[in-house]
Chains A and B, each alone.
Chain A
Amino acid sequence: DAKTTQPNSMESNEEEPVHLPCNHSTISGTDYIHWYRQLPSQGPEYVIHGLTSNVNNRMASLAIAEDRKSSTLILHRATLRDAAVYYCILRDTHMYSGGGADGLTFGKGTHLIIQP
């Protein structure tokens, strides 16, 4: 899977929007952009994913640059419960045709700190 680059940490205030960036300059046409987060002492949790168009769900929004070399996860109104490590992951669907290569490749992610 192609490599992603994220800031090590970010800080935001409660009830304000948070924009978490991810760079993936070597992304291929078959790579989906996935975001997971990991709350303290828990396993990772799926947040959102997309290919080219911006995506929204109940947890967050995903804004994908036109050239797809970067994306931004948007939490519209952060709460203290959103304090977690956020991982941006590329999944190459081209590799799935043979039934293999389905593991996620996590980086170090961004540690999001929410101030009350």
Chain B
Amino acid sequence: DTGVSQDPRHKITKRGQNVTFRCDPISEHNRLYWYRQTLGQGPEFLTYFQNEAQLEKSRLLSDRFSAERPKGSFSTLEIQRTEQGDSAMYLCASSSRLYNEQFFGPGTRLTVL
């Protein structure tokens, strides 16, 4: 399968712990996006990369959130000092160029206890 993959698929953590998620985009795609989705809502955009450059960050991305894409391939999203409000599905998507459709991964479901 050459689609977008995310790891882990599920993460349960205690409040105050740090968590890190990984996204592997489709190999030839240079644009990578992170979204967050809570129950009953549509996905909300967090940030995106073109190659290794982080070009846009939503105001939803608080100081506790950081994303990297060091070599322009896979990306990581880290949440420090998790809060119960961080419980959500974290989705990653990639696309080959501007305006093109985005291909989404299956998501990482985070539960903060």
Contact = CB atoms under 8 A, between A and B. Distances in A.
Interface residues of B, number: 28
Given A43-B105, A43-B106, A93 B45 contact: no
B79 interface: no
Contact of B93 (A32, A43, A49, A109): A43
B43 interface: yes
A106 B104 contact: no
Given A43-B93, A44-B104, A102-B98, A87 B42 contact: yes
A99 B103 CA distance: 19
Interface of B: 4, 31, 33, 35, 40-48, 50, 55-56, 58, 91, 93, 98-99, 101-107
Interface residues on A, range: 20 to 34
A17 interface: no
Interface in A91-111: 91, 93, 96, 99-109
Top 5 A-B residue pairs of the complex, sorted by shortest distance between their CB atoms: A106-B42, A43-B104, A103-B45, A46-B101, A106-B43
B104 A100 contact: no
Interface string A23-36: 00000000010100
B42 A107 contact: yes
Given A103-B58, A104-B102, 18 more contacts: A43-B4, A43-B106, A43-B107, A44-B43, A44-B104, A45-B104, A91-B99, A96-B98, A100-B55, A100-B56, A102-B48, A102-B55, A103-B45, A103-B47, A103-B48, A104-B43, A106-B43, A108-B41
